[in-house]
Structure 1
Amino acid sequence: MPEKSEKPAEATTEEERPRRRQARGERRIAQLLEAAATVFSTTGYTAASTNAIAREAGVSPGTLYQFFPNKEAIAIELGSRLMHEMRQSYDEVLAPIDPAVTPLEEAIAGTVDRFIEFNCRHPAFFVLMHGPDIPGRIAEDHDALHSTLVARVEALLAPFAPDAPAATVTRTAQMCVGIYKAGLELILAHEEAEREPYIEELKAALSRYLRPLAEDIVD
């Protein structure tokens, strides 16, 4: 019986090479973005440099420029990935709830815990979303993300105030988001051991502000 040809195996190897190069490139990009997140959260966006990011990643500036032309491109890619992850959190956490099943304070605590955990795990997110001199595209994407957040909070609050005018629910949602962002800045300004009391204060502030909604349901 004639021996089987080895050519198909060689062809497969040729096909796999571009995939392997692509996989190595994706790993390098992830490495650079992780380094950028560290630099941005440590120095801020304005003071960060491509040299500092390359140094943090343990690569040469030339290697960095193979993947990103400048600091702005790195920030945009990092911000885009973080915003995508945050939108997934919106889908999971900010779904409408039944007031008869889930008390308002429980909904507040769960939502705050999830978002604080995300921001503590990704401190660069706050820097890129709220820092000075961030790229215009990030600012635009953040405005869209903010609008989505307000809309999701409206949907979360609406069952607790079924008779309230839509404008009132919208205004209440906007205030909740404003309170959350102010509290988040204080929370991130403290080290891990000191954060918990501020997290509890944020939950308490939101609960006190929104308690009349829950009282209306009970009445």
Structure 2
Amino acid sequence: MEQTADERPRRRQARGERRIAQLLEAAASVFCTTGYTAASTNAIAREAGVSPGTLYQFFPNKEAIAVELSDRLMHEMRETYGKALRPIAPETPLEEVIAATVDRFVDFNCRHPVFFALMHGPDVPGAMAQEHDALHAALIGRVEALLTPFLPDARTEEIARTSRMCVGIYKGGLELILAHEGAEREAYVQELKNVLFRYLDPLLMDSYPLGV
């Protein structure tokens, strides 16, 4: 059956989207293996199984690939923040709150290890670094909003400090988690949960019944 004039552009667009997804997947693999600076468009094209010329039809350079990849991951990460840091029912045990939150964030980063490689590398493009800083600030803000109702006597700067510590503890633990696999990775995930609980429990138990 002959394609209509409307069908042909849609098919070309669908093929283009599949090719972009293929290139981004290959770039993620290369960035994780070599880091951003050592990666090249030739290596990404080779990983994707296409010619460099095909790659340049969609991306002008390595930075454009990294920015597109990070933009897509940032969007998914913001959705993860929204699900993981939603308001807490007061009767929920602190261990359960921490476990559910950590599991969501760890799951995202284990599925997309390139996010950590790009966002925490020393050589990321400026646009990506700015996006990461904005995302980091948003995360701290969500943690502050989560903690504030349960620390009614704490000063604003104290809640901000506690929130930054929670995020810092998580990032430090995440680096160890991503460096291991299997049972050892699960052990580090549990260690991270334990550390966060032991940090937050004494702070919250006077005004937050989750720790009782």
Regarding TM over 0.5, the answer is yes
**After the TM superposition, which of the residue ranges 24-33 and 186-195 deviates more from structure 2?**
186-195
Q: Does 1:164 pair with 2:154?
A: yes
What CA RMSD, in Å, does the superposition of the two structures yield over aligned residues?
1.5
What does the per-residue CA deviation read over 1:163-202, in whole Å, with 9 as the maximum and x for residues that have no partner? 2222211110000000100111111111233111111111
Matches within 5 A, 1:97-108: 97-99=88-90, 101-108=91-98
Question: What is the aligned partner in structure 1 of residue 5 from structure 2?
Answer: 14
Q: Distance in 2 between matches of 1:150 and 1:90?
A: 10
TM-score after normalising by structure 2? 0.94
TM value normalised by structure 1: 0.91
Q: Check conservation: 1:46, 1:132, Cα contact below 8 A.
A: no
Q: Which runs of 5+ in 1 are unaligned?
A: 1-8
Task: Name the structure 2 match of 1:48.
Answer: 39
Match of 2:106 in 1: 116
C-alpha displacement at 1:155, in angstroms? 1.5
* AA partner of residue 71 (structure 1): K
2:183 counterpart letter in structure 1? A
**Letter of the structure 2 residue corresponding to residue 123 of structure 1:** P
Deviation at 1:159, TM superposition (A): 2.6
Whether 1:62 and 2:53 are equivalent positions in the alignment is yes
Aligned residue number for residue 210 of structure 1: 200
Equivalenced residues, count: 209
Structure 1 stretches (4+) deviating beyond 4 angstroms?
A: none
Q: Percent identity?
A: 73
Q: Retained in 2: the 8 A contact 1:94–1:111?
A: yes
1:189-208 to 2 correspondences below 5 Å: 189-208=179-198
Question: C-alpha separation between the residues in 1 aligned to 2:126 and 2:185?
Answer: 31
Q: CA–CA distance in 1 between the matches of 2:190 and 2:48?
A: 36
Contact residue 98 and residue 159 of structure 1 kept, 8 A? no
Q: Residues of 1 paired with 2:152 and 2:87: CA distance?
A: 12
Give the greater-gyration-radius structure (CA): 1
